[in-house]
Structure 1
Amino acid sequence: MEKLGTRLRHLIDLLDSAVASTYTEAGLRYRPRYTPIVRALTESEPLTINQIAKLAGITQPAATQTIALMVKDDIVKVNSESKDGRHKFVRFTDHGRAMLPLLTAHWDATTEAIKELESELPHSLTEIIKAATSRLEEKPFAARLKEAHQKKIGR
Structure 2
Amino acid sequence: MKTQPDSDAVGTLLRHVLDLLEGDVAAVYRDQGLPEYRPRFSPVVRVLAAEGPLSIRDLAAAIGVTHSAASQTAAQMSRAGLVTHASDPGDHRRRLVALTPKARALLPRISEEWKATAAAMADLDAELSTPLGLLLKEAAEALHRRPLRERIAERSR
Partner of 1:53: 60
Partner of 2:31: 25
Partner of 1:88: 95
| Aligned amino acid, residue 4 of structure 1 | V
Q: Does 1:140 pair with 2:147?
A: yes
> Partners in 2 of 1:81 and 1:132 — Cα distance?
37
SS at match of 2:49: helix
Aligned partner of 2:119 among 109, 112, 119: 112
> Partners in 1 of 2:153 and 2:50 — Cα distance?
39
State TM-score, norm by structure 2. 0.89
Aligned partner of 1:15 among 21, 28, 31: 21
Any idea what the Cα deviations from partners look like across 1:12-33, whole Å, max 9, x if unmatched? 1110000000011101221011
Partner of 2:48: 41
- Structure 1 stretches of 5 or more lacking a match? none
SS at match of 1:86: strand
Any idea what the Cα deviations from partners look like across 1:80-123, whole Å, max 9, x if unmatched? 13476311011110001111110000000001111111111122
Q: Does 1:99 pair with 2:109?
A: no
Aligned pairs (5 A) from 1:119-134: 119-134=126-141
- RMSD (CA atoms): 1.5
> Partners in 2 of 1:126 and 1:70 — Cα distance?
25
Any idea what the Cα deviations from partners look like across 1:41-64, whole Å, max 9, x if unmatched? 122111111100111101111111
- Note the C-alpha offset of 1:129: 1.0
Bigger drift between 84-93 and 3-12 goes to 84-93
> Partners in 1 of 2:145 and 2:77 — Cα distance?
33
| Aligned amino acid, residue 88 of structure 2 | E
State TM-score, norm by structure 1. 0.90
- Structure 2 stretches of 5 or more lacking a match? none
